[in-house]
Amino acid sequence: MSIVAKNIHKNFDDTKVLRGVNLTIHDGEVVVLVGASGSGKSTFLRCLNLLATPTSGQVLIDGVDITEPGVDLNQIRRKVGMVFQNFNLFNNLSVLENIKLGPKKLLHQKERDIDKEARRLLKMVGLSNKADSFPQNLSGGQKQRIAIARALAMRPEVILFDEPTSALDPEMIGEVLDVIRNLAKQGLTMVIVTHEMSFAREVGTRMIFLDHGKIIEDGTPEQVMDHPKTERAARFFSSIQK
């Protein structure tokens, strides 16, 4: 699956958040979006599945312009999973029911198959023993791993991660990053907004640096972090190292 963003602009009232972003994401890539707070990273990510509607520009998923009227967004979003920084689990449902909800409503599979797959995903994220627990009884790291399992239950071709560790205590960050590392090893296409620079360097096949709503660096993590072409990116990475 490919995602092509063409000249994406996004305004909130008089504030220009994105200023003509162009980006093609290829099948199998792990693209990390980095930059200072307020640079437009999360807004751009949300434009990729129309959780935020671009003010102008196009988003093409497998050649289909999802900004066109009449496009079945639910069909598109089955292919493009999303993991939020604040989990967005349903507190009135058990862990297993949270994971099974999407496939039940949208994939029209047999209950037995849905249950088997949900339990497989729980095992994959290391939480088989939490199937009958409720979100309020989980740690932040556990909630985020459940959110990842829930996204995977829809069998997406791409997963978008919006700062998946920003709401976690430091000791819980590693357990979530381990799950994402394993997904990268499996070749899943991912776009990740993150402030975890060592993680971005490790898992990213490509790094995009945004500043004031524009892409100013695009290359491998080593190229962008160690040999930035712009003074702005050089200052950013220098400040992080200090």
CA 113/CA 126 separation, integer angstroms: 20
**Considering the domain boundaries, does residue 56 fall inside one?**
yes
Average pLDDT on 168-195 reads: 91
| 23 closest CA partner among 54, 15, 51, 13 | 54
| 54 closest CA partner among 114, 10, 16 | 10
**Considering the domain boundaries, does residue 136 fall inside one?**
no
CB 60 within 8 A of CB 66: yes
Average pLDDT on 166-193 reads: 91
Binned at pLDDT 50, 70 and 90, residue 167 comes out as confident
pLDDT of residue 242: 65
Length of the chain: 242
CATH of the domain at 162: 3.40.50.300
Number of H helices, E strands in the chain: 9, 10
**Considering the domain boundaries, does residue 117 fall inside one?**
no
- φ and ψ at residue 234, rounded to 5 degrees: -60, -40
CB 82 within 8 A of CB 96: no
Q: Taking the mean position of all CA atoms in its chain, how far away is CA 46? A: 9
CB 145 within 8 A of CB 176: yes
pLDDT of residue 108: 82
Residue 18 has pLDDT above 70, yes or no: yes
Question: Could you tell me the residue range of the domain that residue 187 belongs to?
Answer: 3-88+155-241
**What's the domain count of the chain?**
1
**Considering the domain boundaries, does residue 111 fall inside one?**
no
pLDDT of residue 105: 87
* % of the chain at pLDDT higher than 90: 83
**Considering the domain boundaries, does residue 212 fall inside one?**
yes
CA 213/CA 189 separation, integer angstroms: 23
94-98, 105-109, 204-208, 218-222: which range is least confident on average?
105-109
**Considering the domain boundaries, does residue 144 fall inside one?**
no
**Considering the domain boundaries, does residue 132 fall inside one?**
no
CA 212/CA 206 separation, integer angstroms: 20
Average pLDDT on 139-163 reads: 95
DSSP-based three-state secondary structure for 207: strand
Helices of type H across 95-230: 95-102, 111-124, 140-153, 170-185, 197-203, 221-226
Average pLDDT on 206-218 reads: 98
Question: Which residues face 34 on adjacent strands?
Answer: 209
pLDDT of residue 59: 96
**Considering the domain boundaries, does residue 8 fall inside one?**
yes
Please name the residues in contact with 189: beta carbons below 8 A apart, sequence gap of 6 or more: 1, 25, 26, 27, 28, 29, 30, 157, 158, 159
Average pLDDT on 156-164 reads: 94
For the segment 32-89, what is each residue's pLDDT rounded down to a tens digit?
999 999 999 999 999 999 999 999 999 999 999 999 999 988 888 889 999 998 899 9
* % of the chain at pLDDT higher than 70: 100
